[in-house]
């Protein structure tokens, strides 16, 4: 049986923390729609019979009815494809959710918080969905596949082997127990980076679109064929944009103009979006708002300042002038209030700029 497996599309996400530039969130939301169309076209062109969506299809807090209607209209275009959705922690099956209060096309099946089975001629498909923004009550220890002669699939959202309290709140499952159950394919969601087990049975496809600079690399969908003998899987990249981080060492840079030149002369790949991280010792005050006033390459959408000041405060404090007196006071403050070191060092930087 041939299938397409996606997860974590997060339709209508706000992308607020993604960029310091206006308009990036709107563009990324438009990109989500482009990617949806790519998926639907692939399913149509390849006559795919099964489409698995493993949670976080949309953002419950921000999703618009117009987006749900757009999505459902696309599902109507693949009327011969059976679509199975397992709600996740960002799109749980709530009383006021669109999963519960919208008339979906006949080819859409949405799992609820009871582990359910859907039987077809060739495959049994099990699924489970979040009914709240947190889930920690699912127990697979006593579960048994009912017909091992058929292909058996599980569609579910959550973490594997959650090691901390946060992971445990998102439907943590034991990989060992899942492997023992004998599923031919487990379609997972929640982790935004693609991850395949060696035997190709437990799969995170990752998010379909990069949500931020903590999600580097390619994003897309898993397609393939599931058999009782061996799964044939392929990852297809969907997002034309990739996020990259680029470090710039400021130790030898003497002015903001020189820094802007360094940033703009960096070699940036055409379709990528960049976060510039300033590192090293800074020789002048670096104000990010001032940097954004300059004309930067449009592919740079975020800048972080991780530099440290380049002053020898002990040496300066021995000078017989205002700089020296100021440095002595700063040393006293650092000694008396070490918990506010960053604020005091910032005051040192500003003071030194004034006293130059």
Residue 56 has pLDDT above 80, yes or no: yes
Higher pLDDT, 304 or 344: 304
283-301 mean pLDDT: 90
pLDDT for 163 equals 76
pLDDT for 356 equals 67
Q: What is the pLDDT of residues 247-270, one digit of tens each?
A: 999 999 999 999 999 999 999 998
Q: In whole angstroms, give the CA distance from residue 205 to residue 36.
A: 15
Domains and CATH numbers, the chain: 2-237 (3.60.21.10), 242-355 (no CATH)
Alpha helices in 103-182 (DSSP H): 165-168, 175-181
Q: In whole angstroms, give the CA distance from residue 266 to residue 272.
A: 13
Q: What values do phi and psi take at 68, rounded to 5?
A: -65, -40
158-162 mean pLDDT: 90
pLDDT for 197 equals 85
Q: In whole angstroms, give the CA distance from residue 220 to residue 192.
A: 10
What is the largest distance, in Å, between two alpha-carbon atoms of the chain? 90
Higher pLDDT, 58 or 333: 58
279-307 mean pLDDT: 91
Whether the CB-CB separation of 172 and 159 falls below 8 Å is answered with yes
Residue 353 has pLDDT above 80, yes or no: no
- Find all residues with CB under 8 Å of 351, minimum gap 6, and list them: 326, 330
* Burial call 69-95: b when 16+ CB within 10 Å, e when fewer: eebeebbeebeebbbbbbbbbbbbbbe
Partners of 225 in beta bridges: 2, 232
> How many H-runs (helices) and E-runs (strands) does the chain carry?
10, 17
Q: What is the pLDDT of residues 193-241, one digit of tens each?
A: 999 988 889 999 999 999 989 999 999 999 999 998 889 999 999 999 9
Q: What is the pLDDT of residues 74-127, one digit of tens each?
A: 999 999 999 999 999 999 999 999 999 999 999 999 999 899 999 998 899 999
**Percent of the chain predicted with pLDDT > 70:** 100
Q: What values do phi and psi take at 191, rounded to 5?
A: -85, 125
């Amino acid at each position: 049986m041939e299938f397409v497996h996606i997860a974590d599309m997060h339709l209508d996400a706000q992308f607020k923390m993604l960029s310091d530039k206006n308009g990036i969130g709107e563009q990324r939301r438009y990109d989500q729609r482009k990617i949806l169309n790519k998926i639907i076209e692939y399913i149509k062109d390849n006559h795919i019979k099964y489409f698995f969506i493993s949670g976080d299809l949309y953002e419950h807090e921000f999703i618009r009815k117009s987006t749900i209607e757009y999505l459902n209209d696309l599902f109507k275009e693949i009327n011969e494809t059976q679509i199975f959705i397992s709600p996740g922690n960002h799109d749980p099956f709530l009383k006021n959710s669109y999963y519960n209060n919208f008339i979906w096309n006949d080819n859409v099946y949405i799992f609820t918080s009871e582990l359910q089975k859907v039987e077809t001629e060739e495959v049994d498909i099990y699924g489970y969905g979040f009914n709240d923004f947190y889930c920690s009550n699912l127990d697979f220890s006593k579960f048994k596949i009912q017909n091992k002669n058929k292909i058996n699939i599980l569609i579910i959202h959550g973490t594997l082997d959650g090691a901390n309290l946060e992971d445990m709140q998102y439907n943590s499952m034991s990989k060992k127990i899942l492997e023992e159950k004998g599923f031919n394919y487990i379609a997972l969601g929640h982790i935004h980076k693609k991850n395949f087990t060696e035997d190709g049975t437990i799969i995170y496809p990752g998010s379909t679109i990069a949500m931020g600079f903590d999600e580097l690399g390619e994003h897309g969908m898993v397609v393939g064929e599931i058999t009782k003998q061996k799964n044939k899987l392929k990852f297809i990249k969907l997002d034309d944009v990739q996020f990259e981080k680029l470090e710039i060492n400021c130790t030898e840079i003497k002015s903001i103009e020189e820094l802007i030149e360094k940033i703009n002369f960096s070699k940036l790949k055409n379709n990528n979006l960049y976060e510039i991280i300033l590192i090293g010792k800074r020789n002048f005050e670096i104000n990010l708002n001032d940097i954004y006033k300059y004309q930067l390459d449009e592919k740079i959408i975020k800048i972080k300042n991780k530099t440290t000041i380049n002053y020898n405060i002990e040496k300066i404090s021995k000078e017989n002038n205002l700089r020296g007196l100021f440095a002595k006071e700063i040393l006293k403050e650092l000694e008396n209030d070490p918990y506010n070191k960053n604020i005091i060092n910032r005051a040192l930087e500003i003071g030194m700029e004034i006293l130059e």
